Structures are given as structure tokens and as C-alpha cells.
A = this chain, B = another copy of it.
Amino acid sequence: MATVNKNYLRLQGSYLFSRIGEKVRNFQSENPDKKVIRLGIGDVTRPIAPAIITALHSAVDEMGQESSFKGYAPDLGYEFLRNAIAENDFKARGCDISPDEIFVSDGAKGDCSNIQEIFGSDNKIAVCDPVYPVYVDSNVMAGRTGEYDDITEGYKDVIYMPCTRENGFAPDLPSQVPDLIYLCFPNNPTGAVITKERLQEWVDYARKNGSIILYDAAYESFITEEGIPHSIYECEGAKECAIEFRSFSKTAGFTGLRLGFTVIPKELTAGGEKLWPLWARRHGTKYNGAPYIIQKAGEACYSQEGRAQIKEQVAYYLENAKYIYDGLKSAGYEVYGGVNAPYIWLRTPGNMTSWEFFDQLLEKVNVVGTPGSGFGPHGEHYFRLTAFGSRENTIEAIERIRNI
């Protein structure tokens, strides 16, 4: 008799954003006249930039002609895109990453959740707390986390690394050595960043211990300050211990187009085995490539015109972030993030729980945010707002919150 993967039954509640979505839908259907402003899920709102739209149209035309029609994409992704990525995202920042080390995919969420598959089921993972839920949930599904503990609000076999206002929301090196270390900077949900010196300490720690760092750099284009690494490969020795994930979702508004990539250096090993061939095999067996037209859209992000346009878009969201940050701060909130990241991380007022504050915002002022506790126990009493709304909605939402 067929049976289910029992690890799935250990998952807590529904996926955070699905739960938020449901709450909002219910509220909206009971209150159809209310205008709900969504600063919850990290979804963008600016339209795709004109240079990218032009590239999309042109690629669509190619698909309609026999002479230029494209079927299955090459396993790693089209060379034109991998070349542009290697050149602009890595070589231009002094990182020695070759196009062959880049695996194009349909986004960082899939890559971040699938990467654990190529590692042993007994590998111990460490995650920041709070953290993007996908890292832990994908490991729960794979049976790597053990049982959920209601008291600690965490899985027994996971090393949680607290990110608190005391450590500037950048974790300390764990005393119990993990095999796999998930790091995300600029951070989701706290908006915190890490200096190059601090990140180098992580790289040194991983190399010393034979750990692999799974580095989620999905928000790197929001970095505005000097001295903050855009890629982990800016650190010495990172090619021996780190995998990096990137996304076009926030950089260029591709949440609805789907494009990302993963970097696996050729020399990277775990327990003496090279990781590149394993990920290549997974990619070849379980995935059939991002659509040609989307890869052409990705290429357009690196043209002179495209770069200027997406830079403007990021600047727009960063202005929203500043507006939220300043608006809440001047209203007496304790606020973090928002300078090198599209996320503002605020302390809930009056020691409310994160979900209490969520309900209050939704019901009283019809603003949707994300409860910090949804990202882990150390997120309790915090709340995430995103800068991805329209300017108008962002201003209105902050006005509403200020007047609670």
C-alpha cells in the first residue's frame, strides 16, 4: 500500500504566505468596501521595464517563426545569459565565477528549497532565526530537522542562530558546528546586512569545519552602502565553501516572470565529492530550463538601457523603504532595515504578539504586513513591511498606521 512522506506531517501550519493570503481573502470578502493595502508578501508592483518588454516581444516573435523557434533550453541555461551574469554580477565585482558555474533557473525559491537534495540526509542545518521559511520547510520535508518542539517553537535537530537587535540581526558563529549554513544578506525578513569582514569570518569558519554556506543574495541590488558584499565570492576562499542564489524577482520585478540562478563553483566539494556534477544531474533530470523568452528578458537586464531602468526601479522601492522607515520612526516605532533592503523590520508596539499586530493592522487600518513570528521564534514581537508597494499606497499605509 502506498503511504505518504511522513516528514510532511511535521510541517507546522500552512506555508506562511498562504496563511496570510487566506486571512486577507476572508477579510476582504467580509468587507468588500474596504481598500486593503498589501505590504505583506514581498511582491513587486512596478511594471516590467521598457527595455525588457521590448526584449520579450522580440523573443516572442522569434518563437513564432520556424527559423528562430527555440525548443528545450540548454541544461544550464542559454550561454548569452550565463555570459552576461558572469561578466556583470561577478567579474565586474572581482569575483572569479565562470559562465559554466552558473545554473539558470525559474527563481531562487525553487533553488533554495531544492539545493538540500544533493546533501546527505544526516547533514545538520543552521538557519538564522527569524528566517525565510523555505529553508527550514524544505529540510523538514526531507526529514533533516527532527520533530517540532512546541516549547522552543523549533525543530529539534536544527541549529537556530538568533538574530536580535543586540547582534544587529546578524547571527554569531554557532558553537555547535553545522554542516549546512543558510545565510541571506541583505536579509529577509530583517533587512539587515553583513559587512565583508563579518562575512569573511563565516567563510573562514565554514572552510575550517568543512561546512557549506548556502548564501541567498536575492536582495543584493538593494545594497546602497559601501563595504557590504554583493556576493559571497567577494570573500577569500568562498569558492571552496559556498553556493550562492540569485534572483531577478526583486532586482528587475520578475516575480511574475520567474528567473534566477545558482552558482556552484567547479572546485566546491562536500565530504570529498564535487557538488557541481550532482547539481548538474539534478538540473538535467528534474528541470527543463527557464523559457527562452524569459531568459532573453533576463539578458535585457544587463543592457545599458535595461540596467538604467531597473536601477531606477530599485531606487523607487528604496524611497518607499525610507518613507516607511522615517514615518514609523517619527511615530515612535522601533524600526530596522530599509537602507540596504526592501524590508522594514519593526518592533510591535506594547509587546503585542506579531499575529495580534497583524490582525490589528488588517482589521483596523486594512494594511497587510507579515508577522515576524512567522519567520521563527526570535521574530516574535516583530513585524515586516515591504517597500514593494506603489508610492501612493505606501504613503497611505504609513499614514493609516500612524493614526491607529
Where the two chains meet, the residues of A that have a C-beta atom closer than 8 Å to any C-beta of B are 1-6, 8-9, 11, 14-15, 17-18, 41, 43-48, 50, 53, 56-57, 60-61, 63-66, 69-73, 75, 106-107, 109-110, 113-114, 117-123, 133-134, 137-138, 141, 143, 179-180, 209-212, 253, 255-258, 270-271, 273, 275, 278, 281-282, 284-294, 390
Contacts and interface: CB of A to CB of B under 8 A. Distances in A.
Copy number in the complex reads 2
A123 B2 CA distance: 6
Contacts of A210: 1-2
A309 to B, nearest CB: 11
Contact of A275 (B4, B65, B281): B4
Given A66-B46, A72-B255, A212-B2, A109 B271 contact: no
A292 B123 CA distance: 37
Given A69-B46, A72-B41, A72-B43, A134 B256 contact: no
A48 B66 contact: no
A141 B285 contact: yes
A276 to B, nearest CB: 11
Contacts of A258: 106, 288-291
B61 A53 contact: yes
Nearest to A295: B256
Given A47-B63, A50-B64, A134-B286, 19 more contacts: A1-B179, A1-B211, A2-B180, A2-B270, A3-B122, A4-B271, A4-B273, A5-B119, A8-B278, A8-B281, A43-B71, A45-B69, A47-B64, A48-B64, A69-B256, A72-B255, A72-B256, A113-B286, A258-B291
A118 B8 contact: yes
A212 B75 CA distance: 31
A287 B117 contact: no
Contact of A287 (B17, B56, B109, B390): B109
28 contacts: A1-B209, A2-B120, A2-B271, A3-B122, A3-B270, A4-B278, A5-B119, A5-B120, A5-B121, A8-B118, A8-B282, A9-B273, A14-B284, A45-B66, A45-B71, A46-B66, A47-B69, A50-B64, A53-B63, A60-B60, A110-B288, A113-B285, A134-B285, A137-B285, A141-B285, A256-B289, A257-B291, A257-B292
A200 B122 CA distance: 42
Given A60-B56, A63-B256, A69-B256, A5 B118 contact: yes
A216 to B, nearest CB: 14
B287 A119 contact: no
Contacts of A61: 53
Contact of A256 (B70, B109, B284, B286): B70
A288 to B, nearest CB: 5
Contacts of A118: 4-5, 8
A399 to B, nearest CB: 21
Contact of A75 (B2, B18, B290): B18
A370 B275 CA distance: 28
A63 B257 contact: yes
Contacts of A63: 47-48, 53, 56, 256-257
Most buried by B among A64, A65, A209, A211: A64
